[in-house]
Amino acid sequence: MATPKSIHTIVLDTGAIIRNHPTVSSLIAQAEEIITVPAIISEIRDADTRSRVQTTLMPFLKLRSPNPNSIKFVTDFARRTGDLAVLSKPDIQIIALAYELECERNGGDWRLRRVPGQKGVNGAPPKKEAEPGSTATEADTEHVVAEDENQGASAAGPGPTEAAAESVATESGPPAVSSEAPATTDAQPENSQTAKEDLSVKEVQTTLSETKLEDGPLSEANELLVSSEEVQESQIEEKADSDDDDEGWITPSNLKKHQAKDANGSIEKEGKEQAVMQVATLTTDFAMQNVILQVNLNLLSPSFQRVKHLKTFVLRCHACFQTTKEMSKQFCPRCGKPTLTRVSCSTTANGEFKLHLKKNMQWNTRGDRYSIPKAVHGSANGRISGGGKGGWGNSLMLTEDQKEYQRAMTNEKRTKERDLMDEDYLPGILTGDRGRAGGRIQVGAGRNVNSKKR
């Protein structure tokens, strides 16, 4: 009999297909169905990758397009989270397909969220209808069985433990020797092991009392009694120490549990996990992962571990507090100032989006007043030029709609990347080229704005 797979349907994104991680054999071993949208296949441009996908993956891959209602829901949701600007149409279709399959497999969207930041899910799971032939539930049956067992135990009379206690009390000798009252039936030991230990202690006490009357010395009897009690206490302490040690150590029985905990240290436990994951999405795009987690869809890593906590970065304006997911921007889309800072953010399993700001962040105000020269008109022949000493302030880029910035952006697109394997290529440390080491257009006067006046 074949063992059931842990995932029923996996929705694949382009990144997993192009990188071939996980492999096709791993996907088949973990999921019943592998599905994606037709637009994903058209995004594969490389000839080798396309031939590999056609020969190895396509026989096991199903293509399906989501309906317009699912696309509209995902579009509105991504617009509220701020990820719509960086999501392509195939990305939206992938999330919409996962949303549609999740509703089909689970009988509705009861375990999802309709808006970002929603507390809890949409509703409770649908109740399973009881079969018409069954009149009593399992809980009622267990209750009846427990009552029958209790009645049978009470009617059977005193057990062997009580009889042994009575026999020990009878053989213990004269009442003047014994200093303890006989055990009653109400104070029964919790288990048979405890009962045996109590009986052994009583037998030792009885023997010691007889020895005291016959042979005499009380010190020897006390020593024997104390030693027996110390042995019993040491056994209990050793058992407790062994239980405490087993919890902290990694053993063959809990090795997989610790490995999963280390691989997903940011995963939070939220209720009881499903035995079989109905629908899961496998993608490496951060914007898609953010939307998937906030909708409460299942998200997988390439190692088939469920991701519940995501940490990424966004750009936040220090002036108007606007955030944007486009990491290539240099000017704020709202106020238009070059005040964007890189801030880490996280998305939890509850769909909560948090920004992690620095505690004592100080904005650099160098050059804000009187350092940049005032704009001065020049002459037609170029004899007079403003912009300070050497005209350094004429080509400053301070806003996004400046013609200098637009011209620099156009040249940026035309510039070809340097080939590191080229024989004529030399690194900047040898050539002395320090211009644009970060690969971005310089905005403003830079850090050394005050040194330009000298």
Tell me the per-residue pLDDT of 46-65, one tens digit each, with 9 for 90 and over: 889 999 999 999 999 999 99
Other Cβ atoms within 10 Å of 289 Cβ, number: 21
Judged by DSSP in three states, 298 sits in strand
pLDDT band at 454 (very low <50, low <70, confident <90, very high): low
CA distance readout (Å), 243 to 261, 279, 422, 444? 21, 39, 64, 65
Residue with tokens 């267990």: 142
Q: What is the 3-state secondary structure (H, E, C) of 108-126?
A: CCCCCCCCCCCCCCCCCCC
Q: Sort residue 154 into left (φ over 0), alpha (ψ -120 to 50) or beta.
A: alpha
pLDDT band at 134 (very low <50, low <70, confident <90, very high): very low
pLDDT value of position 259: 72
Question: Comparing 285 with 269, which gets the higher pLDDT?
Answer: 285
Whether the link from the prior residue into 132 is cis, omega within 30° of 0, is no
Q: What is the mean pLDDT of residues 182-203?
A: 50
Q: Could you give the count of Cα atoms lying within 13 Å of 225 in the half-sphere of its Cβ?
A: 14
Question: Comparing 114 with 177, which gets the higher pLDDT?
Answer: 114
Residue 386, token pair as written in the block = 């403003």
Report yes or no: 182 and 168 within 8 Å, Cβ to Cβ.
no
DSSP state of 191: S
DSSP β-ladder status, 340-347 and 353-356: antiparallel
Contacts of 210 (CB under 8 A, 6+ apart): 173, 177
Asked if residue 17 has pLDDT above 80, the reply is yes
Q: What sign does the dihedral 13-15-21-23 (CA atoms) show?
A: positive
pLDDT value of position 206: 57
Determine the Cα–Cα distance for residues 109 and 73; give it in Å rounded to an integer: 12
Contacts of 442 (CB under 8 A, 6+ apart): 397, 436
Q: What is the mean pLDDT of residues 248-265?
A: 72
pLDDT value of position 416: 54
Report yes or no: 343 and 357 within 8 Å, Cβ to Cβ.
yes
Residue 86, token pair as written in the block = 């960086």
Asked if residue 238 has pLDDT above 70, the reply is no
Other Cβ atoms within 10 Å of 400 Cβ, number: 17
Residue with tokens 């238009």: 336
348-380 pLDDT, tens digit each: 877 788 899 988 888 887 777 777 777 777 777
Q: What is the mean pLDDT of residues 429-440?
A: 58
- Residue 195 CA, chain-centre distance (Å), reads 48
Asked if residue 157 has pLDDT above 60, the reply is no
Look over the chain and give the mean of its residue pLDDT values, rounded to a whole number.
74
- pTM reported for the whole predicted model: 0.56
pLDDT value of position 388: 74
Give the range among 102-111, 160-169, 289-298, 396-405 with minimum mean pLDDT: 160-169
DSSP state of 306: B
Contacts of 307 (CB under 8 A, 6+ apart): 264, 267, 289, 293, 299, 300, 301
pLDDT value of position 91: 93
